[in-house]
Amino acid sequence: MTLAEAQDLFAALVTGERPVDPAAREACLAGDAELSAGERARIYSEMYLFRLVEALREDYPLLARLLGDEGFFALCQGYVHTHPSRNPSLARLGRELPGFLRERPTARPDLPDLAALEWARSEAFVAADAVPLGETALADLGADAASARLRLVPSVRLLSLEHDADALWADLEASRQPGPPRRRATSLLVWRKGFDVFHSEVSAEELAALSAVGNGGTLGEACEAFADLPDPTRTALDALASWSGEGILAAAHN
């Protein structure tokens, strides 16, 4: 048996993705009086799933709490079958879980949104560092502000959700019994300041403005998102001051 054939067979035993003929297994692996070849292979297959589920639990602690051990295990089992790990880091495994949840009926309709928020917070925690704009940087731009192009620091995540995932997140985080799902279009900004991750609900207009900055638009173009609001200039200035204060803007060339 070649190395490639041995790995093909052993990977099938570990992942359970396809049945393995017991005769082929016995021809590849040795058993003894203590443990048969099948029992020895099972040590690996049990650990495979256990390890992946525990990694997902680290990124989705509140989803896991809401579903309970059995429910979370069943979800993860289906997930890793459809989305096996493609990255050397286990921390990337859960990337597709919110989308996976959206594609199927779930215990609560707001679970995909909760998962999206938890994943965004996980990503923000380890996102690359960046030097945010200084306190006076926006004022220093003066008349050039409208044509200035900035960028969002790498930890920023912008979420457009269908439910009030913030309320569900807050209930679970505080170990309160979560209220019923509340269907409501919700825009969330997730970011890291120092070592701490925050999220905050923002208006759809503010989310659009942040998206414009993130996509390389000028500050003037970004602020067009506020054009239909009662006091667009004031709203835009407040938003810019808030973004600057939270350290989510950085110079484009950084």
Partner 1 sequence: MAFQRAHLGHGIGLRSKHYGRFLEEPPAVGWIEAISENFIGVGGRPLAVLEKARRDFPVVLHGVSLSIGSVDPLDREHLAGLRDLADRIEPAYVSDHLCWGSHRGRYLHDLLPLPCTEEALQHVAERVQEVQDALGRQILLENVSSYVAFRGSTMPEWEFVAGVAERADCGILLDINNVYVSARNHGFDARAYLAAIPPDRVGQFHLAGHSDRGTYLFDTHDAPVADAVWDLYAAAVRRFGRVPALIEWDEHVPALERLVEESRAAATIEARELAAREGKAA
Q: Does 167 bind partner 1 (CB under 8 A)?
A: no
Please give the single-letter amino acid code of residue 124. A
- Other CB atoms within a 10 A radius of the CB of residue 103 amount to 10
Judged by CB under 8 A, which of 19, 23, 70, 89 binds partner 1? Answer: 89
Nearer residue to partner 1 within complex by CB, 46 or 231: 46
3-state SS, residue 250: strand
Is 1 an interacting residue with respect to partner 1 (CB under 8 A)?
yes
Task: Report in angstroms how near the CB of residue 96 gets to partner 1 at its nearest.
Answer: 14
Pick one of 22, 103, 104, 126: the residue that binds partner 1 (CB under 8 A): 126
Residue of 61, 71, 109, 154 interacting with partner 1 (CB under 8 A): 154
Least spacing, CB of residue 162 vs partner 1, in Å: 29
Helix or strand holding residue 84 (H, E):
none
Nearer to partner 1, 41 or 138 (CB): 41
Distance CA 158, CA 210 (A): 8
User: What are the backbone angles phi and psi of residue 206, rounded to the nearest 5°?
Assistant: -65, -40
CB of 127 to partner 1, least distance (A): 6
CA distances, 237 to each of 151, 223, 232, 242 (Å)? 17, 9, 9, 9
Query: What is the end-to-end Cα distance of the chain in Å, rounded?
Result: 53
Q: Does 32 bind partner 1 (CB under 8 A)?
A: yes
Shortest Å distance, C-beta 68 to partner 1 = 22
Q: Which pair of structure tokens corresponds to residue 46?
A: 């049990």
Single out the residue of 224, 227, 246 nearest to residue 152, CA to CA. Answer: 246
Query: What residues line the site for partner 1 (CB under 8 A)?
Result: 1-4, 6-8, 10-11, 14-15, 27-30, 32, 34-35, 37, 39-41, 43-44, 47-48, 51-52, 55, 84-91, 125-130, 154-155, 192, 195
